[in-house]
Structure 1
Amino acid sequence: MAIWDFVKDTGKSIFGKAEASPAEAGAEPSKPAQKDATQAKVEALKKELRTLGLDAGDVHLTLKGDTVKVESRGANRETMEKLILAVGNIEGISKVEADMPEDAKPQFHTVAKGETLSAIAKEYLGDASKYHAIFEANRPMLSDPDKIYPGQKLRIPQAT
């Protein structure tokens, strides 16, 4: 099982902004309340995966704190990498745990302030004009090559 780190306070907001929790108000939250909140977050994550077309019904998510464990029997390497990124690039998630085939070492890049897909393509693929390959490798999470943000992780495709 491999673990990937993400920027917890960066990414798409799907959990909503809850009012002060009992813990923030000085009270200890009840176990059922914690379980319900965790289940609601898992359901929000699954809904996001369905929206992106990444859950064919065989994806199982487990959330513990800000760490998500992703399991899928039917996902190939590319789909598994996209699942990791789709879940990890959610605000509030700091780690994603998943099994990858032994020979599969995905290459991810964390976007820095001011970076463009062209600059990233030049760094990894040797040619700025190959930015479209990175864009396509990150579909459906990316809808526009110009809409990347600092802290976002991107899949880097194998150089061709």
Structure 2
Amino acid sequence: MTAKSKYQAVLDLGEKLNIKNGDVTEENGILKVKGTANTPYEKNLLWDKIKEIGGDKPSDIMANITVADESVYHRHTVKSGETLSKIAKQYYDNASKYQAIFSANTNILKNPDLIHPGQELVIPNI
């Protein structure tokens, strides 16, 4: 199995996330991947997928993933049925951090219990 085929799920995720300036080469059994993620959250998703496949310190892949916008952790478009607590759980693994999301979005939110599908929320770096 080539390194590229082993890490195909990482490459597929990169395409799904629309990673910019992507480049993939394989030399001597080592997959070299580079590109620019939109946000730190997307970069983390890629690294999580790499570790899921290759373990905590994979020796058959070298990834150089930069981030285009470090000013926010991510930008999230609200879907039907979501709450700030659910969104906080998704990004921070802690539902009680919903207040940080609310505080970062007071320009469009007046009440943390009232969010609507289609709103784009800033998920702040915390």
Please give the TM-score of this superposition, normalised by the length of structure 1.
Answer: 0.34
Greater relative contact order, per chain length (Cα 8 Å cut-off, separation 6+): 1
**Larger proportion of strand:** 2
Query: How does the TM-score come out when normalised to structure 2?
Result: 0.43
